Amino acid sequence: MKRNLGQNFLAAEEILEEAAQAVSLKGKTVLEIGAGHGELTVFLAKDAKNVVALELDSKLIAPLRENLSLNEIKNVKIVCGDALEFDFSNYEIIYGNLPYYITTPLLFKIIKSGCKQAVLLVQAEVGERIVAESGSHEYSRLSVMVQSQADASIIDFVPKECFNPIPKVDSVLLKLVMKKNFVLGEKLVNALFQHKNQSVKNALVHSTAFLGLDKQKAREFADSLGFGGEKVFCLSLKQLETVCKKFNGFSEKT
């Protein structure tokens, strides 16, 4: 087994069934990232019109095919390929047990794919950061960048003992429902959350080189917001949206 691929297979049937039932699959073609031996694939295929089972490890294709055959599953297309290179754009619903070492790039690829919903197994710490509310210790750049584009919720906590082999950390089952909303400026959000315990004004002043502003202009911009004295990690999504929209207009004038 290639442990460097981050392969830990979910073996708890109650969690697998819960994941499959988290969204309505009837009449849908579903993409599953990291199909493994088909543990989840079987549950998805029962309700979905079709399932595209994507698996990177070529050694798992034969046992995956055998598992589907034993369960008399015929509506699954197996694809051996890299999720980072695979085209996600044709799927309304995406499932995935995201390898810990590539969770973030895969997560944002899914969000930007045009899918409507996603159900993902992610490391518990990552899931908690994704759904964190403003003002909490876990609230971060990841929180706001995901929440600006999707309604995120944790369906269930998944102890590490539910996997084979047992990983070092627990996981959560995360549901994303995509929304059409203002996409926050990634560069500005990155700059602010580099100093998330500081006031917005100080965070901007300390990010002038990165943002291409001089310190006086940064202070003027912060003062124009009306909440420049608030701590960055206490900003709501609405306030961050205001910052980004105003900054776009401000930077065009400078």
Take residue 17 and report the two structure tokens written for it: 């069934």
pTM given for the model: 0.92
Is the CB of residue 57 less than 8 Å from the CB of residue 81? Answer: no
Q: What are the DSSP E strand ranges found in 125-170? A: 150-158, 163-164
* Geometric angle at alpha carbon 147, from 230 and 235, rounded to 5°: 5
* HSE-CB of 164 using CA atoms within 13 angstroms: 6
Q: pLDDT of the chain along its 254 residues, tens only?
A: 343 455 789 999 999 999 999 999 999 999 999 999 999 999 999 999 999 999 999 999 999 999 999 999 999 999 999 999 999 999 999 999 998 889 999 999 999 999 999 999 999 999 999 999 999 999 999 999 999 999 999 999 999 999 999 999 999 999 999 998 777 899 999 999 999 999 999 999 999 999 988 999 999 999 999 999 999 999 999 999 999 999 987 765 65
SS3 175: strand
Take residue 69 and report the two structure tokens written for it: 């055959």
